[in-house]
């Protein structure tokens, strides 16, 4: 870890309390039973090790998609994400999408990002090759689906910063959006992960 990263890790609990108290980066959105126009299971992702996987393999599990960065005040959420991943093993999958879209807080290459996450946070959930997650011509297809009402059925909220979170149910319906200051271990996220899906 760099000195900057150590300082940010130390200040993370304060950042979370202040941003939640101020209502900054704390938006939570919930699906009102709208169905997707296209299936996210038709999409694939290329992991940072070069392997391509279909999202179809996650059918039957909740799926949390998070845009990540190594030099952000919220970077310590890697630890919380890993804890959530371990707690709900077999029921929840998490995929991280490292992105350099917010103040260039992810400048590393795929190998450096993977090493940073493993060494500092013990991350074992999959990380995608460094991507663009904000709306643009280069936006990752998964994030185009997540932020397009014409695809997911209801949501147009793009990530507001690093560590924005999108939760899908066991049938591939987008059920929640959580802003960065909503911790992966918050009651809101845990409750959504534990919720039963109506088929």
Active-site annotation, residues? 72
Range 3-194: architecture per CATH:
3-Layer(aba) Sandwich (3.40)
- What would the pLDDT profile of 5-34 be if each residue is shown by its tens digit? 777 777 677 777 787 777 778 899 999 999
- What would the pLDDT profile of 125-153 be if each residue is shown by its tens digit? 999 999 999 999 999 999 999 999 999 99
Task: State which residues of the chain have pLDDT below 50.
Answer: none
Which pTM does this prediction carry?
Answer: 0.92
- Write the DSSP assignment of 97-153 as a string of letters: EEB-TTTT---S-HHHHHHHHHHHH---S-BBSSB--SSSTT--HHHHHHT-HHHHS
Structural domain boundaries of the chain? 3-194
């Amino acid at each position: 870890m760099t000195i900057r990263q150590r300082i940010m890790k130390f200040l993370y609990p304060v950042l979370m309390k202040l941003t939640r108290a101020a209502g900054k980066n704390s938006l939570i959105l919930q699906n009102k039973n709208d169905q997707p126009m296209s299936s996210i299971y038709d999409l694939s992702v290329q992991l940072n090790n070069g392997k391509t996987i279909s999202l179809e393999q996650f059918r039957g599990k909740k799926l949390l998609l998070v845009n990540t960065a190594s030099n952000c005040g919220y970077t310590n959420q890697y630890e919380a994400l890993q804890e959530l991943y371990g707690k709900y093993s077999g029921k929840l999958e998490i995929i991280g999408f490292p992105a350099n879209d917010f103040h260039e807080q992810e400048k590393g290459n795929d190998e450096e990002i993977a090493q940073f996450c493993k060494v500092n946070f013990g991350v074992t959930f999959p990380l995608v090759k460094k991507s663009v997650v904000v709306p643009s011509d280069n936006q990752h297809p998964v994030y185009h689906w997540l932020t397009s009402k014409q695809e997911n059925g209801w949501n147009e909220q793009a990530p507001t910063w690093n560590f924005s979170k999108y939760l899908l149910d066991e049938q591939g319906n987008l059920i929640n959006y959580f802003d960065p200051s909503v911790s992966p271990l918050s009651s809101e996220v845990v409750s959504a992960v534990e919720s039963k899906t109506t088929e």
